[in-house]
Amino acid sequence: MIGTKIGHYDILSHLGAGGMGEVYEARDSRLGRSVAIKVLPEAFTHDSDRTARLEREARVLASLNHPNIAAIYGIEEFGSRRFLVMELVPGETLAEIIKRGATPVAEALAIAREVAQGLEAAHEKGIIHRDLKPANIKVTPDGRVKVLDFGLAKAAQAESADVTISNSPTLSIAATQVGMILGTAAYMSPEQAKGKRVDKRADIWAFGVVLFELLTGKSLFHGEDLTDTLAAVVMKDPDLSAVPANLRRLLRKCLERDPKKRLRDIGDVWELVESEVPASSAPKKRPAAKAPWLVAAALAITVAGLAYVHFTEKPSAQLSARFPLLLAEKSNLAYFMLSPDGRSLAFTSDEGGPVRVWVRPLDSLEAHSLPGTDGAMFPFWSPDSKKIGFFAQGKLRKISVAGGPAETVFENAPTPRGGTWNRNGVIVFAPNISGGLLRVSDEGGAATPVIKPTGPRESHRYPEFIAGGNQFLFSISSDRQETAGLYAASLDGGPPIRILPDAVHAIYATSTPGERVGALLFSREATLIALPFDADKLRPTGPAMPVAQDVTRAGTVGFDAFSASESGVLFYRTGNVRPDQTLVWLDRKGNQLETTSEAQPFATVSLSPDGKRAAVSITPTTQTKSALWIYDLTLATPTRFRFGPEDRAWALWSPDNYIIYATQGRNGAFFRKPANSEAGEEILLPNPGGNAIPLDISEDGKQLVYSATGGETRDDLWIVPLQGEHKAVKYLGGPYDERHAQFSPNGKWMAYSSDESGQFQIYVERIPATGTQRQISIAGGTRPRWRHDGTELYYIAADSKLMMVPVKFGADTFEFGAPQRLFERPVPGGGPRQIGYQPTKDGTKFLALIPAESTKVATPTVTIWMNWMAGLNK
């Protein structure tokens, strides 16, 4: 932006960056003055929560018109961007002054007096700073003291009542959640570090810490890492022996751990000085700071348990601490991975738009997305923690965390299952859902096989290098029990070594970079397990130990939600990440008529021919197993049809009253069973292979259409006869995804969705396909359904609203009209390959899976465990 113009502000230089925005020096051409402007990041422009916080900061600062508080001139909008216009404060921060050593007492007290005056003005308006620290206080060249950055400030009357939390601080991505830890660890009050309610006495504590450091040139609370620092804040009695004797009473009253005993008003602080302090002493004029004003650095909303982390190579052997981090409502951490240095978290999320890679430094509350990563899956870090590899649009790509365009490393990775990057610049990855592993240089070029499958239905997945070297872990999914499992192999050659029978994602973790004896972390039946492991001999060295319960899946089968750094930091997610849904009837306007089920993690729904019952599948969570149920829609009562250990199941109700279903845990096999009997004979149909999903049965009951992943051709559509030899024939396949296929009532046409245009749209094609498909939707669409009399075709638009298209067709003709919106309410429609709703034969009602208004399932939680190995061994 440097050299550009925003409104009447000429951007001159970049001053800094924080989670809440970029800060620039600018020239106000109207008033002829220099200002600082804080611009909300482009990725957050449409985020109402962040925009509200920006406006809150503007209102807070505007109400604090005081010479010792940096002023705000306004909040403005230019195009789609909003920005704050603030006073540009020259000079040095107290952090820079303290680095030079102890400040003379008279000068230190004069600085402290002006800081106190600024805080007093804020407290009188009921505003608490909550992040007072040396970096947020400046001394101008003419000696004026300014308190900066009320980005964490909050009106005291808006604080909630005390909350009951565990001994561990509660961390939260959502800036308004109760129990959130704000501020920087070394300057937090004890109650702030514990996640309790804070008031102006938290600022008084921080004032005391700042004054101590100004007087002594030393840190008051410090440790080898975050947990040591927090422990010192919460438990250690501060040593004030280095402070002049006449000021110790003042500091003791500011630094009372019990806020009830602490000084209540900052204006009373000078009454505690035991000898007269000159009121007129002013700070000496200081030369302008050589470094730019890093205002945005003070914007980092630092979280206890993550903030002010001194990431040493070896965590403290004496202290291990766990901190739960509550996910914000809009967060969707589909995949996540800690950087090797333990400083940052990379994850994929669709917050505010398409799925992208997001990065959250662990000393910040805010995350930012990386442009150019739309559609990203399976992010993984470079060994130096400066770049991220990921998969998108069928390619293996990489991007710098510091910014810049994404680069393609390998062109052909249509259905990836993970990648890993070693310190020699080699990337090993699984390009397809089925097949072996490839290796490629991180600079790109030709890829060569590393491990090849030994059977037709064998899938190699989730490679992970061991300590950044040439050895790596990977899993094999196979229909042969003796082959499936977790393996270790080497780029130097040699046969893979089977370590466990579990076909799971596993990582090698240590507490110190380079250690060769550590632990394998993997999940078994939702329990995170640590298995002591010798990286040189590639074998376990002791019994497995449970680490955490109820660990959830991260996106795909066998890839669970945990990650660990080389510095002894462990992340894992627990709780139900799939929103519970209810089975409801909706009229043609989307109004809810009645609810026919309790809230469950439903995945698919299929109506019986008479419309009185429905077959539904329940997606397993950490608390449930896969199940198929028959719901009586009149009585709203369920009957269990099938129950098993599979990862997922899909079911269709055939016109001749059978249920045809597939289970991912049984290698995608299709089964046929009478709908009226749980104990009826289960008939195995010809196995279409893994990841096949049944989609629809023709009205005459003779054909089944299903989708299956076809490697380079991604999701393809197949038709299999349900009579005779059951020989499947590919209906549609190409270098894009075809999904959600549905037979027309006369069996001559197929409606389906495809992303061949770059966006999923609804198409109708002849059966068999002739290459003359017609696009039905206009602005995106998925999940088509036909009305039984053939007069209407329905689909879900890109905004999740139900659309209707009038149609008229025969054996050789097909006509359609313009799409019309039926519902104003969204119909999510299930996962990316499920349909999730179905009309009655006359099109007057729709049976749909709608997110439950309330659920008893606990909010998904990410736990951060510092020095986890030390804690595990206790």
* Residues classed as catalytic: 131
**Nearest in space to 658 (alpha carbons), one of 636, 621, 630, 620:** 630
In the beta sheet, which residues pair with residue 562?
572
DSSP assignments along 625-651, one per residue: --EEEEEETTTTEEEEEEE-S-S-EEE
- Which residues, including other chains, have CB under 8 Å from residue 248's CB and lie 6 or more apart? 240
* Sheet-wide strand order for 774-775: 738-743, 749-754, 761-766, 774-775
- Which residues, including other chains, have CB under 8 Å from residue 527's CB and lie 6 or more apart? 546, 547, 548, 549, 551
200-216 and 105-124 helices cross at what angle (nearest 10)?
A: 170
DSSP assignments along 492-528, one per residue: T----EEEES-----EEE-SSTT-SEEEEEEEETTEE
Residue 354 in contact with residue 798, Cβ under 8 Å?
A: no
Half-sphere exposure of 864 (CA within 13 A, CB side): 31
* Sheet-wide strand order for 581-587: 592-595, 581-587, 845-851, 837-839
Q: What residue type is 241 in one-letter code? A: S
> How far apart are the C-alpha atoms of 716 and 653, rounded to whole Å?
22
Place of tokens 């700073």: 129
Give the CA dihedral 273, 276, 280, 283, nearest 10 degrees. -50
> How far apart are the C-alpha atoms of 710 and 381, rounded to whole Å?
28
DSSP assignments along 56-105, one per residue: HHHHHHHT---TTB--EEEEEEETTEEEEEEE---SEEHHHHHHT-PPPH
DSSP assignments along 738-773, one per residue: EEEEEE-TTSSEEEEEE-TTSS-EEEEEESS--S--
- The token duo for 310 is 């001194």
Neighbours of 240 (CB within 10 A): 20
Residue 204 in contact with residue 266, Cβ under 8 Å?
A: yes
Helical spans, DSSP H, in 299-378: none
Residue 806 in contact with residue 752, Cβ under 8 Å?
A: no
CA 542 to each of CA 54, 353, 518, 532: distance values in angstroms, whole numbers, following the listed order? 53, 46, 11, 5
> How far apart are the C-alpha atoms of 772 and 344, rounded to whole Å?
49
> How far apart are the C-alpha atoms of 496 and 617, rounded to whole Å?
37
Would you give the DSSP letter of residue 209? H
**How buried is residue 826: exposed, middle or buried, by Cβ count under 10 Å (0-12/13-18/19+)?**
middle
- Alpha carbon distance, N-terminus to C-terminus of the chain: 52
State phi, psi for 583 to the nearest 5 degrees. Answer: -90, 115
- The token duo for 686 is 């010809």
Q: What residue type is 468 in one-letter code? A: G
> How far apart are the C-alpha atoms of 199 and 204, rounded to whole Å?
9
